[in-house]
Structure 1
Amino acid sequence: MRFAVIVFPGSNCDADMYYAVQDQLQAEVTYVPHTATQLNDIDAVLIPGGFSYGDYLRTGAIARFAPIMPAIIDFANNGGLVLGVCNGFQILTEAGLLPGALHENKDLAFICKDVQLTVANPNTPFSNRFEKDEVITLPVAHGEGNYYCDAETLAQLEANHQIVFRYQDNPNGSVADIAGICNERGNVLGMMPHPERAVEAILGNTDGQRLLSSLLK
């Protein structure tokens, strides 16, 4: 399986994601710059965290128009696996691949800590190594992770089992404690917590490794 890590100006978790895939999953991985226009022989796209284009205008708003994005959108629409983490989640919502939007945290402060999540849907390509309602721990690091959608969209997310992860103790004000959602087809996941930062025992946590290795399964 071949992974692509997309690199935007301001990405700062691209190396973490690359390392997690190459050294922990022992899978083939390549960097793809924001200036590329094609995805060649790729099985899964990983959009890492950071501050793409300095988070000007809105988080992810400029990245949405990067040259690589039409290829990512086509890849996703054709069933390709796409994971967006933190800023990657924000980019996916701006690109229309996931519903809703990410707002400033409820306390208007940057949050950097471990949080506990409930696995709401283990039946996705990203969560199949977890059990339903299992509690896992992943780190968050964001200032605009407050997920919002209107009531109609939330009802659709619930009905279609698109909510994959929920916060146990909501740190940012996200509606319905949402920490991660997928599209209706299930091949695109956006989440604020960072699985790539929880892949080694030396870090005290390998829950993120199980999430990434779900893609291999």
Structure 2
Amino acid sequence: MMKRILITVVALGLSLGAGAKDLFKKDLSNAHCKEPVWSFNEKGELSSTKDQILWTNEEYENFELTLDFKVTKAGNGGIIIYSKNNDNWIPESIEIQIADYDYWLGKFGPKGTCGAVFGFQGVDKNYTKPLNEWNTLKLVCKGQSVKVYINGELANDFDMSKFTDKDKNPDGSQPFAWLRAKARAEVPTVGNIGFQGLHGTGNTFYRNIKIKPIK
């Protein structure tokens, strides 16, 4: 009986150890940016004062990322995954757009507004709450499968393996011109995670940022 209890306790410990953890330390010592423009405020909200990407020091593969976000008018942020070259991340990564839905729908269409895999696969509706209200985001990234949940709904189900032509999406549309250097099916499925905050005239705020591995 004692042996069985011990095994149960050890198994429980392993299960808890494999759970979600904070992606960033409060002092951002496990992250890097070209300039010190990112910080947490006293409410635990992460934001930037300049258009620079905040990158994790660690690379991630097969993970679930959860967080809350809110945007101001014309806000245009984003979560970048699978980056192997943080100085030139656009050709070789996946960006999930976090944005003022209506504003960027008018500028870029469904492939460039909130919840889109930017430039490649859009959303079918607005999954976000009104501006300046907090939304929940969950990214389930397993190999070439990237699922985007906003406020509990599946907003985007992106299969990188289908995007084999760098100049044409599976639906016949073209990626934005600056995204055509490489087919997304060729992007590695492991890399740094990046956060885009103040981009353009609006800002994006994040909180409760957690990550856990997926087996």
| TM-score between both structures, scaled by the size of structure 2 | 0.30
Structure with greater strand percent: 2
Structure with greater helix percent: 1
Give the number of the structure whose alpha-carbon radius of gyration is greater. 2
Q: Which has the higher contact order (CA 8 A, sep 6+)?
A: 2
